[in-house]
Amino acid sequence: METPASAAVAPAAVIVLAAGAGTRMKSRTPKVLHPIGGRSLLGHAITAAEGTGPADLVVVVRHEREKLIQHLTEHASEVTVADQDEIPGTGRAVQCGLEKVSATSGTVLVTYGDVPLLEAETLRELVVVHEQAGAAATVLSARVADPTGYGRILRSQDGSEVLGIVEEKDATEDQRAIDEINSGIYAFDLEVLRDALGRIGTDNAQGEMYLTDVLGIARSDGRTVRALVTDDAMMVEGANDRVQLAQLGAEMNRRILERHMRAGVTIVDPATTWIDADVSIGTDATILPGVQLHGATDIGEDAVIGPDCTLRDTEVGARAEVVRTHSVLAVIGDEATVGPFTYLRPGTSLGRGGKIGGFVETKNAQIGDGAKVPHLSYVGDAEIGEGTNIGAATIFANYDGQNKHRTTIGKHVRVGSDSVLVAPVTIGDGAATGAGTVVRKDVPPGALAVNAVGQRNVEGWTLRRRAGTAAEDAARAALEGRPENGATPTAGPDADDNKEHQQR
């Protein structure tokens, strides 16, 4: 059938069912709040529903109601919540949902909160097929190898018409042999749905109001009932336990990676790459093995990420390179380089062409264009101007035990290796610090700050204090100008050494 998505008309409502218990998850977290691909199962269901542009989007809740409502308030504040009462079954759930639907006619879609791979495009196609046929109900069905547990689609002798749906627990042996299953996703004519739900009972094996009975009722009333058969059975699968959750998570990841690769992203090893649904990646970016991109991470064009990076809510600029890095809520500029073995914490921003190198941790630090923190440093609560270089093993001492303070460093500053910058402190443009400087006072522009203690050499210390060691042997040989490891006499501690010891 011709079903151009452009012909789709927005439905009057989508009702997402999420009132069930989901006990097989064996979790304190409600089933539909378990995440895959960086979103809850319910979040995926809502995203698909939103993609059809419904006038009303209703989520039906009951089990763990408070937790679901809190989640919806945080992540999907535009949805309407409907409460299911004590009458069980999918039919009752939809009936409760309909109470929140303002329209009086049109198409209503029903979906489940625990079916995460379903996409808006399929729902739009369902609306088109349903409306073009002038149907009262259209069920999304699938043919599967093992139909156990699902409702079966009953068709007329020649197979052209849908007569109804029978639940497995109510089915005859012949009916159980049917391999076309009910996905639980439907398009309904709103008026037919309201009317039929008012006529269904609970006289079945489970004592529930079955939504599936609506199809048989509509058919008996002489209305058209259709099925749209999908060849993508996984797309309509629900997650009932953690084994299925992992399977659907892996499948979602596979689909996300495929989408990026088809859009021009190189993913060297899909088997070790995990990318959340909301991540965006520019053309010709390369993702090396062992990379996880989470949340709202955004990778620029031609950037190279990996191997072995975990980036969450991180923005990476065009042509930047990020190697073996763990990053949360950071911004990495165009052409900048980060890693290996680097930890970027929230509030880090690195300017264009800047560098944060190996064994560096940063937090709430704005590092300017072309500025570099190449080795072994902690940079917290700081601003570093453009073109500045932070020497190896520099520590920004931002915490005095009670409060955090900021360090401000100007442009083109040279901070010497092993400096400790005791915040709050400011180093002016073009200034420098000597190696090992503890900076406690502001440094004016262009000044050199030094305060390392003057060096004192205690002559012969090793000979006295490390007697009998290889160090003593080496020192003695050097002092006596002869090859090492001769039969040298071993010096015991002398009076001078004992005196020094007592002074400690």
Asked if residue 54 has a cis previous peptide bond (ω within 30° of 0), the answer is: no
Strands 438-439 and 420-422: parallel
Q: Given 63, 375, 405, 412, which residue is catalytic?
A: 375
Q: Which is nearer to ligand UD1, 232 or 258 (CB)?
A: 232
What does the longest C-alpha to C-alpha distance in the chain come to?
A: 115
The DSSP symbol for 246 reads H
Site string for ligand UD1, 98-137 (x = CB under 6 A): --------------xxx-----------------------
Q: Is 46 left (phi over 0), alpha (psi -120 to 50) or beta?
A: alpha
Residues 196-215 that bind ligand UD1 (CB under 6 A): 210-212
| Residues in contact with 386: Cβ distance below 8 Å, sequence separation at least 6, in sequence order | 351, 368, 369, 370, 371, 411, 412
Minimum CB separation of residue 269 from ligand UD1 in Å reads 34
Find out whether 350 and 356 touch, Cβ atoms under 8 Å.
yes
Residue 444 as a binder of ligand UD1 (CB under 6 A): the answer is no
Q: Which is nearer to ligand UD1, 134 or 149 (CB)?
A: 149
How many angstroms separate the CA atoms of 48 and 79, rounded?
Answer: 13
Residue 181 as a binder of ligand UD1 (CB under 6 A): the answer is yes
Residue 20 annotated as part of some ligand binding site = yes
Report the residue from 106, 116, 184, 416 that binds ligand UD1 according to the rule CB under 6 A: 184
Residue 95 as a binder of ligand UD1 (CB under 6 A): the answer is no
Crossing angle of the two packed helices 65-75 and 41-50, in degrees rounded to 10: 50
Residue 43 as a binder of ligand UD1 (CB under 6 A): the answer is no
- 3-class secondary structure per residue, 426-443: EECCCCEECCCCEECCCE
Residue 15 as a binder of ligand UD1 (CB under 6 A): the answer is no
Which residue sits closest to ligand UD1, CB atoms considered?
Answer: 151
Strands 162-166 and 152-155: antiparallel
Report the residue from 238, 354, 385, 387 that binds ligand UD1 according to the rule CB under 6 A: 238
How many angstroms separate the CA atoms of 37 and 35, rounded?
Answer: 7
Question: Which H/E stretch holds residue 191?
Answer: helix 190-197
SS3 419: coil
> Considering only 179-187, 431-439, 457-465, 468-476, which stretch makes contact with ligand UD1 by CB under 6 A?
179-187
Judged by CB under 6 A, the number of residues near ligand UD1 is 26
The DSSP symbol for 144 reads -
> Considering only 12-20, 130-138, 406-414, 482-490, which stretch makes contact with ligand UD1 by CB under 6 A?
12-20
Site string for ligand UD1, 337-366 (x = CB under 6 A): ------------------------------
Residue ranges in 279-332 assigned as alpha helix (H): none
What distances in angstroms separate CA 92 from CA 105, 116, 136, 190, one per listed residue? Answer: 20, 23, 19, 15
Crossing angle of the two packed helices 120-132 and 41-50, in degrees rounded to 10: 50
Q: Is 375 a catalytic residue?
A: yes
SS3 422: strand
Neighbours of 226 (CB within 10 A): 20
Residue 363 annotated as part of some ligand binding site = yes
Residue 292 as a binder of ligand UD1 (CB under 6 A): the answer is no
Residue 167 annotated as part of some ligand binding site = yes
Residue 380 as a binder of ligand UD1 (CB under 6 A): the answer is no
| Residues in contact with 270: Cβ distance below 8 Å, sequence separation at least 6, in sequence order | 254, 257, 261
Site string for ligand UD1, 139-168 (x = CB under 6 A): -----------xx-------------x-x-
Residue 83 as a binder of ligand UD1 (CB under 6 A): the answer is no
Minimum CB separation of residue 182 from ligand UD1 in Å reads 4
Q: Which is nearer to ligand UD1, 242 or 412 (CB)?
A: 242
Residue 399 annotated as part of some ligand binding site = yes
Q: Which residues are catalytic?
A: 375
Q: Which residues are annotated as a binding site for UDP-N-acetyl-alpha-D-glucosamine?
A: 17-20, 31, 84, 89-90, 112-114, 151, 167, 182, 240, 345, 363, 378, 389
Q: Which residues are annotated as a binding site?
A: 17-20, 31, 84, 89-90, 112-114, 151, 167, 182, 240, 345, 363, 378, 389, 392, 398-399, 417, 435
Residues at the site binding ligand UD1, with contacts judged by CB under 6 A: 17-20, 60, 84, 88-90, 92-93, 112-114, 150-151, 165, 167, 181-184, 210-212, 238
